Every structure is written in C-alpha cells, then in structure tokens.
Amino acid sequence: MLVALFKPLAWLPLPLFHLLGCLLGWLTWLCSPTYRRRMADNLRRSGLAEREADYSRLIRSSIAAHGMGALELIPAWLRPLPRVAALVVEREGWQAVDDAVARAAPIIFVSPHLGSIEVCGAYMAASQPRQLTALYRPPRIALLEPLMLASRTRGGAQAAPANAQGVRQLLRTLKHGQSVYMLPDQAPGGGDGVWAPFFGRPAYTMTLLARLARANDASVLFCFAERLSWGRGFRVHVRPLQGAFSGDAQADAALLNANIEALVRIAPAQYLWSYNRYKRPSGAPEPTHG
C-alpha cells in the first residue's frame, strides 16, 4: 500500500526533494528540543568547527542536510535500481573498487550515516560485479520496513537483518566471494562492541566488521554518496581501509572510527549528528575512558 502511495512521488525532480527536505529539516529543528539539543551538542563537541562563525555555518547546513536525507529516501527506495544509480554523476577513488574486484577476495563496503546511504548502497549494487548483501536494522517506523527491504533487494541484491541469522547470511556471502554493505556507526547491542574514541568521545563501536574482514581476508572499502548542491545529484567517494585490523578488539574499533572520521571530514554537514552515537546500550559496560 505504501509503495503504491509513494511511487508516483518518486519521480519528482531531485531538486524539489532537496528544497522540501531543507524545509523539513528546519521544521524538525524548531519543533523537537531533544533533536535540536543532541544535534547541536554532537556537532559542537566534534571539534570540526573551531570558530563560532564556522560552527554556525556548519549547523545550518546540517539542519538542511538532515531533512534532505529524509525526503530523498522516496526516490532512492522506489525508483528502479539503474535510475537510482544514475543519480551518481561523479565518483572519486573508484580505482579501489576495481583493484578489490581484481583481487578476487570478498569485499566489505563500509558506509557510515553520511550523505545518502541508500543511494550509495544502490550504486554499489549496480556498479560492481559481485552480488551485494546489505546488513540492515529495521526502522523504528515498522510500516517503512517493506519499503526498505524492497529497495535493498533490487537487482538480485539481498538484505540481512542485524541479528544472528543475518550474521550467518553475511558469512555465507563472504565465503562465496561476494560483497557486503554495512553501516559501521550504529551502536551495537551490549556485548557486541567495545568503547572506542569517536571525535574525542567514547562511543560503543561494533567489533563484527573487523572480525568478518579478518576471517575472510576481505577488502574493506569505506564509501559514501555526497549530496551535491542544487539537486545536481551525488558524488560517490571510495577509500580503502587506512591501516589494518589486528585482531585486538579495542585497537580495531579505534581504527574503524578513525576511518569513519576521515570520511566525515569530507562533508561534515552531511553526517547524521542527530543520532545518539554516544549512548550506552543496554547490557554494555560503562565507558572505560573519556
């Protein structure tokens, strides 16, 4: 039912989605004190803006980007896969994908909540030769889950839930030399992560990614789809993991977060600063530092 309702809207021009998304971002900022406080606090404490004028520009851009990211889910989820991939008009660092494909080992694409994660995932599914399996966490609004799953299984791709069953599915995917798409900056459940610094503050960080990479000798590629101005489309960035996972959970989590930080610095206004990245999940120990 939701697909039938929203599908006609998916063909509206991208600049219109971004214009309306900008308005939505400001409306949410004005109407939700919790949202406003968390975003402002996370961004200010990130250290990305040293001067007050820089912080003011960055927070204004971030407010608009949050709303754009929400509304562009409609075309990203409901247009055919080739049409979503066509929204990417530039790419940077793609040689890393070609090198990983030539290596013949499995690939783990790592995309934080930066830019458009759905456009990035669709582009990776459409533009590299391996079958892609995306790890997902069901959205808080249950009615949106069918839309999410329909979008992530286009073109022969697969979706794996963020639970034990999904982890087994990822293992099978990697064992067969295929590709996996993961979001690394969601707080895992208690016992599934460690505390590691993220922009100078302890954040409970997943250990699964490093374990999967080491166990399968996978190429680890960080990526995101940067939203270009005036609805011009997206620029996909790809960077290989800088450093190497060692098997030490604490060191690997710190390395993971350092690589995410490097991506965020490319387009800091487009990171999801409203997410409660520094929460303590149920069952997790107290932070040991910071």
pLDDT of res. 153? 84
Q: What is the pLDDT of residue 4?
A: 66
What size, in residues, is the chain? 290
pLDDT reading at 107 higher than 80 = yes
Q: What is the DSSP string of 158-193?
A: EEEESSHHHHHHHHHHHHTT-EEEE---SPPPTTSE
Residue 260 in domain: yes
In a domain, 94, yes or no: yes
Supply the pLDDT for residue 45: 94
Rounded CA separation 222/111 (Å):
6
Do the domain assignments include residue 80?
no
Asked, for residue 7, whether it belongs to a domain, the answer is: no
pTM here is 0.94
Counted domains in the chain: 1
d(CA 75, CA 94) in angstroms, rounded, equals 24
Residue 290 lies in a domain: no
- Residue 281's alpha-carbon distances to 140, 245, 261, 277, in angstroms, are 16, 24, 22, 10
CA distance 166 to 168: 5
Residue 3 has pLDDT above 70, yes or no: no
Give the per-residue pLDDT at 183: 94
Question: How confident is the model over 11-67, as pLDDT tens digits?
Answer: 999 999 999 999 999 999 999 999 999 999 999 999 999 899 999 999 999 999 999
pLDDT exceeds 60 at position 1? no
Summarize pLDDT for 236-268 with one digit per residue, the tens: 999 999 999 999 999 999 999 999 999 999 999
Does a structural domain hold residue 168? yes
Q: How many CB atoms lie within 10 A of CB 248?
A: 12
Quick one: tokens of 230?
């005036």
Q: What is the pLDDT of residue 268?
A: 97
Q: Are 225 and 120 in contact (CB under 8 A)?
A: yes
Domain assignment of residue 126, given as a range: 85-270
Give domain status of residue 16, yes or no. no
In a domain, 109, yes or no: yes
Dist. CA 138–CA 141, nearest whole Å: 8
pLDDT at 9: 86
